[in-house]
Structure 1
Amino acid sequence: MARRTKRLWTDEEKRSICFQTAAPGVSVAQVARRYAVNANLIFKWLRDPRFAPDPASVPGPSEEARFLPVEIVAETKAPAAEPVADNRIEIELAGGHRMRISGSYDPEALVRLIRGLTA
Structure 2
Amino acid sequence: MGRITVFGGPERRRRWSVEEQRRILEEAFAPGACVAQVARRHDVSTALVYTWRRKLGATLVASQEDHGFVEAVVLEESSSVPTPGQPAIIVELSHGARVSIYNSASATLAQTVVKALAR
| Larger Rg over CA atoms | 2
**Taking structure 1 as the reference length, what is the TM-score of the superposition?**
0.40
Which has the higher relative contact order, 1 or 2, with Cα contacts under 8 A spaced 6 or more apart?
Answer: 1
**Taking structure 2 as the reference length, what is the TM-score of the superposition?**
0.40
